[in-house]
Structure 1
Amino acid sequence: MKLSSPQKEIYSKDRFTAAEAQRLAQEIAFGPVVFQVSRLMRSFGIFEMLRNASDGLSLEEITEKTRLSRYAVQVLLESSLTIGTILLKEERFHLGKAGWFLLTDEMARVNMDFNQDVNYLGLFHLEEALQEGKPAGLQVFGEWPTIYEGLSRLPEQVQKSWFAFDHFYSDNSFQQALEIVFSRPTRTLLDVGGNTGRWAMQCVAYSPDVKVTIMDLPQQLEMMREATNRQEGADRVGGFPANLLDPAQVFPQGFDAIWMSQFLDCFAEEEVLSILSRAAVSMEADSRLYIMETFWDRQKFETASYCLAQTSLYFTALANGNSKMYYSADMERLVAEAGLEVEQMHDGLGLGHTIMQCKKKRN
């Protein structure tokens, strides 16, 4: 595995002093406690109270404002103080920098909600998932082979946090992605794994000429139709029901562009190769395949690499048991094995997306 900067510099040496490493080991050991305390400090409104109190608040004042017991407030504050999300000055509590980010940073909010509502219970079964190659943690919600078959039947709050997580990362890249895709003549576009039609609707709004076909599971297409019903341009969005895990499922032909956004990370390498190979068969010489992913090794900031590497374990425990946030060189290899070549790499889109622009190999 070959890394580029900044990951190469960061991950090739030990970053911590002995004391820092010892502290980190204990933070990991108490990770579930730290997570739940910090989530509740946000949920109970204590972080927000402290942000709005320029002179800080006493234990008694926080107790009165939250209407929790003195005991409940005290254990939360003492834990948060040692975590480092709040500060104590002259017997008054103040919001620390980390607490401020947990309260105000949208990415932190989306990630925390995703881990609480989607991942938390299922991750207890991570060991089993790793040993069996199946999403053992999905049993906390239902008996489906993958989360995608059950997505429309997940509890409402779980669905809400799942889609918020998915949309937060993709939506921030859409404008730049539209400019890349439509820089070439594109009148027909196949949106593979289009979910609720969010990207498709962006396309028809951007280009008055394009027609989009979403290729996805039948139940996902139903969710798409509900989400896009009566929206302007929805008459130019159609559906092609398909189980993309079925190696006999062919791709429809005749599309100028094939779009796969945050899609291939939902599959194991052999499944990715099968999907890409079938897509390649459907393409003409002037067709283009666009793969938009958040490759963990192509991030500008190390914090993004950290978040993506941890997100891989959601796929392990809950989504399907065998996919991940990909290392870019692995995806390039699969593209080549499928009979395609990477024509161009577009890095730095939105919050860390890359688009691999691919074409058919010349014979």
Structure 2
Amino acid sequence: MAPSPLSGTSGYDALCSAHLLSCMPFIFQSAAALKKFGIFAHLNSARAGSSERELLEVSKLPSESLKVLMQAAEAFGLVEVREGKYFGSKISYFLLNDERARVNFNFTEQVCYQGLHFLSDSLEQMKPAGLVTLGGGETIYPLLSTLKEPARSSWFEFDHLYSNFSFSQAIEVLLKRKPKVICDIGANTGIFEEEICKADQEVQLYVMDLPEQCRLIEKNMAKAGIADHVRSVPVDLLLNQPLPNIVADVWWMSQFLDCFPSAQVVEILKKVKDRVRKDDRIMILELFVGTQDFEVGDICLASFSLYFTAIANGTSRFYKKEEFIELIEEAGLEVEEEHNNFKGGHTLLVCKRSEN
């Protein structure tokens, strides 16, 4: 794991970081306000800078409100001030123009921020106490298709961004096995199905997910014109019962098992193992903490693990690869192939029934 960006190299650095921690909510909310009122967008297009009067016209804010916001923005490095004019900073540029930075920010603001207030309760109870801010329930997953905007769009954009980055590389590996039938567990909205059908027009797919997600997938598959290739199988994997009696050459799980605590990961994999024949393979596409190309990637994954704790389900997280492989082995499987360094930061684990 990379060293914390807050740790610094001296006692003074650490003291400054301790003070900075108390300011971080204010920094984040200032950036959110600068986006909301169009100030970031305006400054990043105004190469010659903008006066306070121009920002008053853009933002429609009262003068005193703009003054306090811009004072904070300058102190936080969100904007720059030169010769009495305001300019966009490199931070604001990337918040607007880097896709991952933009999506992560929106996800944090619209889905996570209010719910994280309940993190301590969630840790004590092992329940998503912060989910009350999005409607309440035992987990977020049955709510996904009916979340209010902008939380719904932010959630799906976050989820799709990371999986979509890696699908093309993962599908290339998958299709080398020339499967005739694939079973996708936790298919979400069916984006993988659309991509695999573009690459192989003969393959048939089963999708397993909660009933409400299956209904959404069916609509999406019909819209994409591939309904004849995809059959939905509504199932609650946490029920104490075996999986439906399906035969598939490849069992696919993408960003799915991180939605469960370790004991449930093992139980789900055992259920899949009971359906896997000798030559079938289980392919697991996951993001792992500690395997990202850049330090900030590991920091983001460790942070977003707290989303699972406070909001999604109260118990799951992004795992470290070595501990995840231990869960695979505990379920009676073994990793046959490991494909790393996919574009989205994913690792693809190809698993088979253990011979031991």
Alignment TM class, shorter chain as reference: over 0.9
Moved more, 258-267 or 113-122: 113-122
- How far off its partner does 1:24 sit? 2.3
Show the counterpart of 1:133: 126
The superposition leaves residues 300-352 of structure 1 with CA deviations (integer Å, 9 ceiling, x where unpaired) of: 11111011000001000111100001111111001001111011111111220
Q: Determine whether 1:103 maps to 2:96.
A: yes
58-67 vs 178-187, greater mean Cα deviation: 58-67
Quote how far apart the aligned CAs of 1:232 are: 2.6
Query: Which residues of 2 match residues 83-98 of structure 1 at below 5 A?
Result: 83-98=76-91
**Matched letter for residue 174 of structure 2:** V
Q: Which amino acid aligns with 1:255?
A: A
Equivalent position to 2:242, from 244, 249, 252:
249
Identity among equivalent pairs (%): 37
- The correspondence for 1:72, drawn from 57, 65, 68, is 65
Question: Does the CA contact (< 8 Å) of 2:6 and 2:14 recur in 1?
Answer: no
Q: Secondary structure at the match of 1:88?
A: strand
In the TM superposition, residue 238 of structure 1 has moved relative to its aligned partner by 0.6
TM score, norm. by length of structure 1: 0.94
Question: What is the Cα deviation at residue 249 of structure 1?
Answer: 3.3
Question: In 1, are the aligned partners of 2:38 and 2:58 still within 8 Å (CA)?
Answer: no
Q: Secondary structure at the match of 2:225?
A: coil
Cα distance change on mapping 1:41 and 1:231 into 2, 3 Å: same
Q: 1:103 to 1:18 in 2, by over 3 A?
A: farther
Q: Which residue of 1 is the match for residue 106 of structure 2?
A: 113
Question: What residue in structure 2 maps to residue 45 of structure 1?
Answer: 38
Identify the match of residue 168 of structure 1 among 154, 161, 164: 161
The residue aligned with 1:281 is 274
Deviates more, 1:237-246 or 1:226-235: 226-235
Deviation at 1:221, TM superposition (A): 0.2
SS at match of 1:93: strand
8 Å contact 1:58–1:93 — kept in the other structure? yes
1:196 and 2:189 are equivalent in the alignment: yes
Kept after mapping to 2: 8 A contact 1:242/1:249: no
1:20 maps onto 2:13 in alignment: yes
For residue 146 of structure 2, the aligned residue among 138, 149, 153 is 153
Establish whether residue 59 from structure 1 lines up as the match of residue 52 from structure 2.
yes
In the aligned structure 2, how far is the partner of 1:294 from the partner of 1:209? 29
The total of aligned residue pairs comes to 356
Q: What's the C-alpha RMSD, in Å, of the aligned pairs?
A: 1.7
Q: Which of 307, 310, 322 is matched with 1:314 structurally?
A: 307
2:334 counterpart residue number: 341
Alignment check: 8 A CA contact 2:37 2:58 kept? no
Residue 12 of structure 1: how far off its partner (Å) = 12
Q: 1:285 to 1:12 in 2, by over 3 A?
A: farther
Partners of 1:332 and 1:342 within 8 A in 2: yes
**Superposed counterparts of 1:321-360, under 5 Å:** 321-360=314-353
Unpaired runs of 5+ in structure 1? Answer: none
CA pair 13-309 structure 1, distance change in 2 beyond 3 A: closer
Give the TM-score of the pair, scaled to structure 2.
0.96
- The gaps in structure 2 that reach 5 residues or longer are none
Partner SS state of residue 219, structure 2: helix
Contact 1:269 / 1:334 at 8 angstroms: preserved in 2? yes
How far residue 207 of structure 1 moved from its aligned partner, in angstroms, is: 0.6
Pairs within 5 Å for 1:22-37: 22-37=15-30
Q: Secondary structure at the match of 1:298?
A: coil
* CA–CA separation in structure 2 for the residues paired with 1:88 and 1:349: 40
1:263-302 aligned at under 5 Å gives the runs: 263-302=256-295
Aligned 8 A contact 1:201 1:234 in 2: no
Secondary structure in structure 2 of the residue aligned to 1:300: coil
Secondary structure, counterpart of 2:33 in structure 1: helix
CA distance in 1, matches of 2:168, 2:308: 27
Native 8 Å contact 1:117 1:161 kept in 2: yes
**Could you tell me how far 1:73 is from its partner in structure 2?**
1.4
